[in-house]
Amino acid sequence: MKSSAICREWINSLPPPQGYLKKEQTIGRELLLKKGMPSNKDEAWRLCNLNKLNSFLSLPEFNKRDLSSKIKSIFPEKDNDRERIIINPHENPIKDINLPNGIDKLSDMEIKENLGEIVKLTNIKNDVSVCLNQAASSELLALKIKSNFHESLEIVLPSIAENSVFTRIFLLIEEGAKLDLLQVFIGKNNSAQNHLIEIKLESNVELTHGLISMGEGHQSSSICTLAVEQSEKSKYSLHSIHHGWNYARFEPRIIQSKGEASTIMKGLQVTKSKEQIATHSLIRFEGPNGKLDQLQKAVASEYSHCIFNGSIAVPQNAQKTEAAQLSRNLLLSKRARIDTKPELEIIADDVSCTHGATVSQLQEEELFYLLSRGIDNDHANSLLLQGYYEEVVSNFPTSANKWNFIEKLIREIKK
């Protein structure tokens, strides 16, 4: 069957466009019908194991009637100083919760004005990750973080097995607000998740964003598109971990709309068995004096495959941009594969942009040093991996530790 026929069949299985995302659903479905699923001829999907995308179209879409039987999530207790929002797909996510002081629901007008605009700014051609989400998402979590809000927020998704799940989030962070945001996505057996998150940072906003994305069962897949628009004098730092997915694709796209802002991105992707995890990041500076500090780390073991594609665009009007990108990779097996590619498009002439990539194995001398102190081989390897993760992990808010993701990373990946 041709990919367009598969798309048509999937779209026909969805409820007809309806509700307040009707227009978005129509746009997504039309584009998908026109373009079909990606092929390896599309540069952005060249290295993707396309068979792994099938589950997004073949698994039954999650229906809220199944809620009690399919959702099996026990969340760690939340910290007192941290608000938690649990998203139930296909149900108004903020229907039953009391929003904390300083967080409001976005008005219909604000949604109309903003939704989809940031993604559009990123100018990605044949944007399949986004189309799939637009086509199927029927609910939206749209929040406004007001300037007096200086606290922490957690957005979590219950783990849903045997289904596909589509969630859409829009956050408008008002001038001067300070937010510490932790998002947690956990995939269960035979599931496919697609998340589309748009975040607009007004000027002088400080957002620290932790994203923990963990597949826990067999055959779990995830596609997450994160589109962020930064106004001047905003500070955005993104710390992400992807691990345990049979297939995962993470697309952080950041636009500094007037430059004059700072972005920090620290990502970690860890694969084992035959997993494939890809990060396709994009940052574009649309004004002068923008700053970027990006570190992407990957650890691949057994037969797995990690991909990193890091685009940085510095057009003519983005003079005095300072951008640094580093891709550091650890290959733990001869059969594992790591592909890493910086993509710098620099038109402005007065800029400082650096990039680098390293691929290595666990250092024999480091290992011998630990062994020579009586530490057994497994423990020594765990310590070294933990050390390798530390650069990314240490930036997560301390409450993220409750999700035990580091223990899982170390337990499952051993040399």
For residue 398, state whether it binds another protein (rule: CB under 8 A): no
For another protein, give the closer residue by CB, 379 or 414: 379
Integer Cα distance of 190 and 68 in angstroms = 18
Is residue 177 helix, strand or coil?
Answer: coil
For another protein, give the closer residue by CB, 41 or 373: 373
For residue 372, state whether it binds another protein (rule: CB under 8 A): yes
Element counts in the chain: helices (H) and strands (E): 10, 18
CB of 373 to another protein, least distance (A): 4
Q: Find the binder of another protein among 23, 379, 411, 414 (CB under 8 A).
A: 379
Among candidate residues 19, 43, 31, the one with its CA nearest the CA of residue 341: 43
- Sign, CA torsion 85/166/50/344: negative
| CA 381 to chain CA mean position, Å | 28
**Piece in contact with another protein (CB under 8 A), picked from 92-100, 230-238, 319-327, 388-396:** 388-396
> Quick count: other Cβ atoms within 10 Å of Cβ 201?
29
For residue 316, state whether it binds another protein (rule: CB under 8 A): no
CB of 395 to another protein, least distance (A): 12
CB of 305 to another protein, least distance (A): 24
For residue 410, state whether it binds another protein (rule: CB under 8 A): no
CB of 239 to another protein, least distance (A): 15
For another protein, give the closer residue by CB, 350 or 365: 365
Q: Find the binder of another protein among 384, 400, 409, 413 (CB under 8 A).
A: 384
- The answer to whether residues 40 and 50 touch, using CB atoms and an 8 Å cutoff, is yes
Tokens in use for 310? Answer: 């890091």
Q: Find the binder of another protein among 91, 120, 368, 401 (CB under 8 A).
A: 368
Residue 232, CB-side half-sphere exposure with 13 Å CA sphere: 8
For another protein, give the closer residue by CB, 143 or 385: 385
For residue 383, state whether it binds another protein (rule: CB under 8 A): yes
Q: Find the binder of another protein among 15, 19, 356, 387 (CB under 8 A).
A: 387
Cβ neighbors of 62 (< 8 A, separation 6 or more) are 70, 89, 90, 160, 163, 164, 165
For another protein, give the closer residue by CB, 389 or 403: 389
For residue 362, state whether it binds another protein (rule: CB under 8 A): no
For residue 407, state whether it binds another protein (rule: CB under 8 A): no
Cβ neighbors of 22 (< 8 A, separation 6 or more) are none
Q: Find the binder of another protein among 149, 247, 285, 388 (CB under 8 A).
A: 388
Percent of the chain that is helix, strand, coil (3-state, to 5): 25, 40, 35
For another protein, give the closer residue by CB, 46 or 408: 408
For residue 56, state whether it binds another protein (rule: CB under 8 A): no
For another protein, give the closer residue by CB, 246 or 382: 382
Q: Find the binder of another protein among 370, 395, 397, 415 (CB under 8 A).
A: 370
Q: Find the binder of another protein among 68, 109, 364, 398 (CB under 8 A).
A: 364
Enclosing H/E stretch for 388: helix 377-393
Enclosing H/E stretch for 85: strand 82-86
For another protein, give the closer residue by CB, 273 or 363: 363
- The answer to whether residues 28 and 136 touch, using CB atoms and an 8 Å cutoff, is yes
For residue 386, state whether it binds another protein (rule: CB under 8 A): yes
Cα torsion for 123, 129, 132, 133, to the nearest 10°? -80
For residue 366, state whether it binds another protein (rule: CB under 8 A): yes
For another protein, give the closer residue by CB, 113 or 391: 391
Among candidate residues 168, 183, 228, the one with its CA nearest the CA of residue 202: 228
For residue 371, state whether it binds another protein (rule: CB under 8 A): yes
Burial class (CB in 10 A: 0-12, 13-18, 19+), 104: middle
Number of chain positions touching another protein (CB under 8 A): 24
Residue 204 Ramachandran class (φ > 0 left, ψ -120 to 50 alpha, else beta):
left
Residues that bind another protein (CB under 8 A): 363-366, 368-377, 379-380, 383-384, 386-391
